[in-house]
Structure 1
């Protein structure tokens, strides 16, 4: 009894040390225990294997098996499941399959978690068909799937772009008596959100409410974010208020999401009140929060307040990111302060940031202020461009009725292997037809088709 209790205490100590990433101390604890006559068991070594796989690597975890055998302890299904999980973390399908094969050679029967882990590995590597076949193997081997099996399957299908199949599977499982848990609903709601399928997401959210499950903070935050992203601001605000009424911990991210949405919908006073409440209840702002506030002040034309916030963030030891600088450059352009925007852009380059988005804002700002020739000069002076850079110039050149130059830029964009907006293409063709002839427009359309065939 004393020995069993001592081994149990040893295992608790090893688990605590492994969670704290103190693997050397865990090894030392095992050695000290053996010296004191307390022998480790399979749980001790399995815990150590899990620690090595998580914090060092699969190979380090696998080496523990040899020591187990030397100590007269045989690995079990948990041992190999831990190693398969370590191989999956590294996306090493070969190692995962090797462990499954070695398990079978030793006469150890894989359990549902062995196949769950293999499925997860296959999905991570973008092999959904093979993962689905593994699920069928589970059924053929008369192994009962668990909730985690269905969650891995549904999540894997969603992440590999098969959300329709995931929903179909979900419905089929329900017809066969499967009662989904909140985690399953959250997986599907999150995937529908990312796909912009707002109506489907809201229907599933209502189904969750009617199922007897209470949506949790993750559910509410995901649904709120999707509502705002799809410009359903009223519904998003209702979700936030419901979350607040139910006493869920709405975090800084939720507040910033709400502020951003209120700003986009033009409800500046509500955004202002929300920011004031955020500060009042004592949230410790991170850089993303400061970016939201700086953006709000820039949109209000309060550049001095925006720069004051930037100084405050830096005084608190926060590092400004490329979004901070881009927001300020965009604000300066909208305020007509082109020289200041260019100085800030040059400063951003000196700091080593990726300036493409900021550069696009600067180009667009020049165009909107009527400095098209200067915008073209800046455009030709830089090497890195994307489709948004071209689109901004093409759009503004068309507005200025400089269609031939817009056509040249649009064609060079396609030849560079970038996609162009259909609206830009239509505007150029329409402009060439109005100012030139239908024949010129047809020739341009042919050039576009040829360029697309050669570069897409």
Structure 2
């Protein structure tokens, strides 16, 4: 019987379909049945398997396919190794990615541009931007491998994520001068990096270019810049971005609205926050848990605790589950309102729901008691807390200083340092200055010495 030449191609199509459906066992069976019928797999067949095993099982299982290829007389190619290196990088097995690249070179397989793109991405993830940049320069100077748009995107994104935003912007401008036309991914990566570095002016400039380039910035791009405006306390500019998004007809999601609402709440602009909430509700957006948490925060800051508790019932009716953060917002709000009995009741309620010990909520309670002048109650709460962290100690020491209980504060500070926790240097200095102010210079020297010893042991 003569097997048609297209049979291997049909086998590859079948294997690819099964792999995409995560039916790898069936894909293996198809290969075995094909061999029995005289339809031999080729390098494409095995590369499809390698890619699927990397994505859905493990890199080690995918790597074992290489030996099967060699046994079948099919030498692995650059695509085989690219899939393995990419899979290892995706699963954060970064040293394995480098080993696989070295193995590929040792076997005489020449890397292509995608090999180098993956390697650069891996080096950036390892926090080795200098080595990634060296690879990039080698590609640019090479006459055998030519960089592509993805190469530039990897470089710009990697530089931004490693804190070299200025270098990323310089590279972007240099590429533009040499005729490179940025893609949507390029603009988004650069804008995101500039926003994280709080370079708002540059971010807005690139956003303008993005809009004039013929590409359309999406809602995520605008939301990123809007967040940056709010972080830089440029609230009016942030609201202008919101207005521009609306004028361009973007469909807002809950995240975009919550970004605005949260920023307005933080600056005490409650009336404007409520207007945005009404706008969100009128747009027919079903709030997610983040949206609800933002609304609860607003109500707690306004002292509208009944409205906040009503939203807890609404969350359940929507089929969502409150998280610890939801309840912590309420505890913090009650503490700021001086309702410590209510805060304690809500902590007990959280415990009854099975959340267990909520350190952040207890820290809020501790800080609230201290700021309200109930320092003895704060000390009792501190002593009975099951878990403590650096914030716990800092909060208590700070509030003891506010109450001028400097000797007690010094003992807590020293015990904190001995446990390996860190207290803000400003708080440490407040203890020392406080001891000196009440005439305990000798005690202040002892605290200084113990702080130095604790720092040396870290």
Q: Work out the CA distance in 2 between the residues paired with 1:229 and 1:23.
A: 47
Q: Work out the CA distance in 2 between the residues paired with 1:4 and 1:331.
A: 73
Equivalent in the alignment of 2:364? 361
SS in 2 for 1:75: coil
List per-residue Cα deviations over 1:181-213 (Å, max 9, x = no partner).
332232232223334444454454455456665
User: What are the residue-to-residue correspondences of 1:232-381 with 2, within 5 Å?
Assistant: 232-349=234-351, 351-353=354-356, 355-381=358-384
List per-residue Cα deviations over 1:403-448 (Å, max 9, x = no partner).
33334334443444333334434544554454437x4696367346
Mapped contact 1:53–1:61 kept (Cα < 8 A): yes
Mapped contact 2:414–2:447 kept (Cα < 8 A): no
The more displaced of 19-28 and 209-218 is 209-218
What TM-score results when the alignment is normalised by the length of structure 1? 0.86
Equivalent in the alignment of 2:24? 23
Structure 2, unaligned runs of 5 or more: none
When residues 30 and 281 of structure 1 are mapped into structure 2, their CA distance, relative to the original with a 3 A threshold, is: farther
SS in 1 for 2:22: coil
Q: Work out the CA distance in 2 between the residues paired with 1:352 and 1:268.
A: 31
Mapped contact 2:191–2:203 kept (Cα < 8 A): yes
Equivalent in the alignment of 2:52? 51
When residues 272 and 32 of structure 1 are mapped into structure 2, their CA distance, relative to the original with a 3 A threshold, is: farther
User: What are the residue-to-residue correspondences of 1:6-405 with 2, within 5 Å?
Assistant: 10-31=11-32, 40-69=41-70, 73-93=74-94, 95-104=96-105, 107-142=108-143, 143-206=145-208, 208-209=210-211, 213-349=215-351, 351-353=354-356, 355-405=358-408
When residues 286 and 239 of structure 1 are mapped into structure 2, their CA distance, relative to the original with a 3 A threshold, is: same
Q: Work out the CA distance in 2 between the residues paired with 1:333 and 1:344.
A: 11
Structure 1, unaligned runs of 5 or more: none
What TM-score results when the alignment is normalised by the length of structure 2? 0.86
Tell me the CA shift for residue 336 of structure 1.
2.8
Q: Work out the CA distance in 1 between the residues paired with 2:259 and 2:330.
A: 20
When residues 94 and 355 of structure 1 are mapped into structure 2, their CA distance, relative to the original with a 3 A threshold, is: closer
Tell me the CA shift for residue 82 of structure 1.
1.1
**What RMSD, in angstroms, separates the aligned Cα atoms of the two structures?**
3.2
When residues 68 and 432 of structure 1 are mapped into structure 2, their CA distance, relative to the original with a 3 A threshold, is: closer
List per-residue Cα deviations over 1:250-278 (Å, max 9, x = no partner).
22211221221222222323322332333
Q: Work out the CA distance in 2 between the residues paired with 1:397 and 1:106.
A: 67
Mapped contact 2:357–2:386 kept (Cα < 8 A): no
The more displaced of 209-218 and 247-256 is 209-218
Q: Work out the CA distance in 2 between the residues paired with 1:57 and 1:150.
A: 29
Aligned residues: 454
